[in-house]
Amino acid sequence: MKLHYLLIVFCLSLSACDTSTQHASDKQTERSETSLNAIDKTQVAENFEWSPERFADIKIIRYQISGFDELSLKQKELVYYLVQAGLAGRDIMWDQNYRHNLSIRRALEAIMGGAQGSGTEWHALSTYARRVFFSNGIHHHYAGDKFAPSFTKAYFLAQLEAAGGELNDEALNAMFDPSIDNKKVSQDASGDLVKDSAINFYDPDITDAEVTAFYAAMQQADPSRPTLLGLNSKVIRLTDGSLAEKRWKIDGMYGAAITEIIGWLEMAVTVAENQKQANALKLLIEYYKTGSLKTWDDYNIAWVSATEGDVDYIHSFIEVYQDPKGYKGSFENIVQIKDFEASRRMQKVASDAQWFEDNSSTDPAHKKEKVVGVSYNVVSVAGEAGDASPSTPVGVNLPNSNWIRAEHGSKSVSLGNIVNAYSQSSNPGLLAEFAHDELEIALNKEHRELAGKMRTALHEVIGHASGKLEAGTGTPKETLKNYSSPLEEARADLVALYFILDPKLVELGLLPSLDVGKAAYDSFILNGLMLQLRRIEPGKKIEQAHMRNRQMVAAWVFEKGSINTGQNSENAVISKVIRDGKIYYEINDYTKLRGLFGDLLKEVQRVKSQGDYQAGRDLIENYGVHVDQEIHKQVLARSKPLNIPPYSGFINPELTPLVNDAGEIVEINVSYPKDFVEQMLKYGRDYSHLPNYN
């Protein structure tokens, strides 16, 4: 599970050598042209440019790899190989997002890599290309809507011809015809979730009902320890009309890219920090070779237990947010270095996981009797790919299998250097415009950084690792269906919100005072009721899982806290204040608000534990989907003069191996590119392992 960062100042709320023709195992002998004297140490000057570029609704940020210089050479090699393994699978994410994405991307790469044009249409085309590169496809990375070109088809074709590129008619029509595949992931339950989604996890003519029946017919070898059915496959229609799975493995779909991934992972095994880490990597390789979901479970158990060492990673087909049915895992890679000082400070959260479980507001029947194997680390990201790049989470808790969490535990990480980069590049304008009063501003300025870190820790470490299903209840994707993801994110957020105002955190030395929790409440309510609407087009509903979660939680507590008083009353838990025609929200009673968060947490956990689809649906549809048009209009109007993009993403650092005359790696060079398009084009040249259609 992921926690995504909102680019709101108070809501903290690699390429190396050319791999286009050589197998990964050949890389170690390749000689770098970079001089040993050109090593760029990670202690970057104070004038480091954090945000070199912006376009459309996107701000591009750079992040530094803190701690890389403290690693041994062997550890640096491990980081390098793991980063390369992720980049080798980059094409997979593009193809998963939409069947025409790779062909369109290569057409845009040809244009953007050629002679640069000028004028209005060139600017529109270059902006479109940047948006596509950023989103790993032609649909918005967050909202899921297809990008509408603001240049003509004739202009595009002229530029493509001049660049020597090509694009088939079907892909061309998909770009320019708004009626074709206009939504990457549909969450509109009144339609057909599968057929109405452009995501490439199912053949275009397959229906929601067919997918439901297909997986319902599959038998689990051990229902108490179910495998994640469908995680690593596309569902296709055979010539006789029946359905089958096309598995993502070395001799199956995406085999060419997976072959490259395996090559890099095999090299990572040779420099593993310890035997447990090596064993987990070997199981991951076996999984890629066989496609066995039992092996995937074995790998996750081994990976969870491999907690020693300074380097770790998240890799493979993991999160299911992009699948309207919640089965298919998007390809993802995050390579990370442990931040020991920050991890020691926050490890207290993990070590007291049982206390948090015992003292949760949830029903005792839905609590774990014994919380096992919870680990938490603050890490420095060294490279990302696939579903984690350019847009990245700030916290992750894995594995996603409920029974593995219960029996073997989980790993949670906070991406410390990513959070720092967001903070370094932030703009305080939204705080001044939308905060209710000077006290709220002061609380936020003083406590926003710690509030954000603590919310992330509680969300990932305690939230996702908490609770249990009742005996005989199916998995959430089976029982809660398309509402599973927003409800799970709501559950984790509610755990964090419930405990961040608990005196226990002050007692543990994790917070200096409960003012940190108050700052967290202020930012969550304001974001859930107002600020996240900056990401929604006028007249649209909320469809993204995290956004549905946030509005549902904020709207529910706002309503319940004003039932007996009215929304504008100072006696309400949260007041809606109108001042000079502008809407603000004021929390009048933080203790009562904590109680409401606890009440909702109890209900959301019950919904998950019992698989209560109707109650879960009602929570999301009644509170998390529909947009208050008056508030939305205000948010957009008040935000526009500030000119602050609502989304951000990252240029990755580049890791380059330096070798001596004997072909031995003697150092890994770290550099920090500034040009987003240049990195995208380089990735397209160096890590393009799949054909246009797979």
DSSP string across 181-207: S-BSS---TTS-TTTT---TTB-TT--
* Residue 517 shares a structural domain with residue 599: yes
* Residue 657 shares a structural domain with residue 542: no
User: Which pLDDT does position 12 carry in this prediction?
Assistant: 33
* Residue 630 shares a structural domain with residue 609: yes
Judge whether 31 lies within some domain: yes
Residue tagged 């060079």 (tokens):
669
User: Which pLDDT does position 13 carry in this prediction?
Assistant: 34
* Residue 612 shares a structural domain with residue 661: no
User: Which pLDDT does position 429 carry in this prediction?
Assistant: 82
Per-residue DSSP letter, 415: E
Q: What is the pLDDT of residues 139-174, one digit of tens each?
A: 999 999 999 999 999 999 999 999 999 999 999 999
* Residue 359 shares a structural domain with residue 403: yes
* Residue 561 shares a structural domain with residue 671: no
With pLDDT > 90 as the criterion, what percentage of the chain qualifies?
Answer: 82
Model-level pTM? 0.86
* Residue 362 shares a structural domain with residue 504: yes
Judge whether 691 lies within some domain: no
* 168 class by beta-carbon count within 10 Å (0-12 exposed, 13-18 middle, 19+ buried): middle
Total domains present in the chain = 2
* Residue 625 shares a structural domain with residue 654: no
Q: What is the pLDDT of residues 630-687, one digit of tens each?
A: 999 999 999 999 999 999 999 999 999 999 999 999 999 999 999 999 999 999 999 9
Which range marks the domain in which residue 540 is found? Answer: 2-8+334-642
Judge whether 211 lies within some domain: no
Q: How confident is the model at residue 2 (pLDDT cuts 50, 70, 90)?
A: low
Beta-carbon contacts of 242 under 8 Å, excluding residues fewer than 6 positions away, are none
Q: What is the pLDDT of residues 98-118, one digit of tens each?
A: 999 999 999 999 999 998 889
Judge whether 227 lies within some domain: no
* Residue 628 shares a structural domain with residue 655: no
* Residue 653 shares a structural domain with residue 562: no
Q: How far apart are the C-alpha atoms of 570 and 566, rounded to whole Å?
A: 9
| Phi, psi (rounded to 5 degrees) for 331 | -70, 135
Judge whether 286 lies within some domain: no
* Residue 655 shares a structural domain with residue 628: no
Residue 374: which of 302, 306, 315, 304 has the closest Cα? Answer: 304
* Residue 677 shares a structural domain with residue 567: no
Q: How far apart are the C-alpha atoms of 546 and 2, rounded to whole Å?
A: 9
| Cα–chain center distance at 415 | 12
Q: What would the 3-class secondary structure string for 88-124 be?
A: HCHHHHHHHHCCCHHHHHHHHHHHHCCCCCCHHHHHH
Judge whether 247 lies within some domain: no
User: Which pLDDT does position 44 carry in this prediction?
Assistant: 47
Judge whether 514 lies within some domain: yes
Judge whether 285 lies within some domain: no
